Amino acid sequence: MNSLEANIRNNKTKGELNAIRKNGEVPGIVYGGKDENQKVSISKKKLKYLIEKENFLSNIIILNVGSKNLNVLPREVKYHILSDEPTHVDFLRILPGVKIKIEVPVNFINHEKSPGLKRGGVLNVVRRKVELKCPSEKIPESITIDLDNVDIGESFKISSVKLDSDVTPTIQGRDFVIATLAAPTVMKEPEKPAEAETTEGEPGAEGADAAADGEKIPTEGEKKDADDKKTADKKPSEEKK
C-alpha cells in the first residue's frame, strides 16, 4: 500500500494558497465520516509519482497527517489548464462498513494460453473499467479475466466475474459484456482493373501499332489532299498521249 506525507495547512486567502503551490506542494482536503474536513498539503513530486502509477484513483493510500495515519482513497485530482500540473487533490476517509462507488480496472491474464488468440483472434475490450459499489475496506484492486483455454467466439460477462458478496456492479438488471474474443479481420486487397486491350484486326489496332513505332497517322483530310496531288501529277502524262 502506498503512503504520502501530508502537512496540515491553515491558509485563508488565495495568495497563501498560491504560496503553497510555489513551494512545491499541492493543496488537498480529507473528507468523509463524522470528522471535520481536514485541509492538507502534500509534495507535488511524490503525488505525480503516484498519479503516473496505474489506478491511482482506485487504490487506498496511507496518508500520514501529523501523528495520525489515515487510510484514504483519492477521489479527484484537478490540473492546471496550461501546464497540466496537479493543483488540488481530494481524499476520502476509509470507514469500515461504508459503501462507496468506484471504478475498478479490468485486467486480462494468460494471453499466451488462449487458442483463439494463437489463431489470430482479436480481444475486443468493451469495458476497461467497471463501476462497483462496495465497502471501502473491500475495494478490489482490479477485475481479473483469465484467457486460458479461451477460443474465438467466447465472451466475458459480469456474471462470470467472481466478486465478494458485498461487492456489486452499479449496473443492475442486465448481464453486460466486458470483452469478447472475435474472429480475425482480414482486409481483402481490391482487384486491379484490367487494362484496355485492342486485338489485331479491331478498329484502332493498326493506328495503335503505328503510334507505338513513332509513325504519324494521317488524318482523313491529309489523305484527301494526298490523293488530289497524285491525280494532278498524272494529268500531264495523259495529255502527251
Q: Are residues 64 and 112 in the same domain?
A: no
Q: Are residues 76 and 115 in the same domain?
A: no
Say how far apart CA 89 and CA 29 lie, in whole Å.
Answer: 7
197 vs 74: which has the higher pLDDT: 74
pLDDT tens digit string along 185-224? Answer: 765 556 666 655 544 455 544 554 444 444 455 555 555 5
Assess if residue 208 is contained within a domain.
no
Assess if residue 224 is contained within a domain.
no
Percent of the chain having pLDDT more than 70? 77
* pLDDT confidence bin for 239, thresholds 50/70/90: very low
- What pLDDT, on a 0 to 100 scale, did the predictor assign at position 188? 52
Assess if residue 189 is contained within a domain.
no
CATH value at residue 46: 2.40.240.10
Give the structural domain span for 132: 100-182
Assess if residue 115 is contained within a domain.
yes
Assess if residue 160 is contained within a domain.
yes
* pLDDT confidence bin for 77, thresholds 50/70/90: very high
- The number of folded domains in the chain is 2
CB 100 within 8 A of CB 73: yes
Secondary structure of residue 211 in the 3-state scheme: helix
- The per-type count for the chain, helices as H runs and strands as E runs, is 5, 13
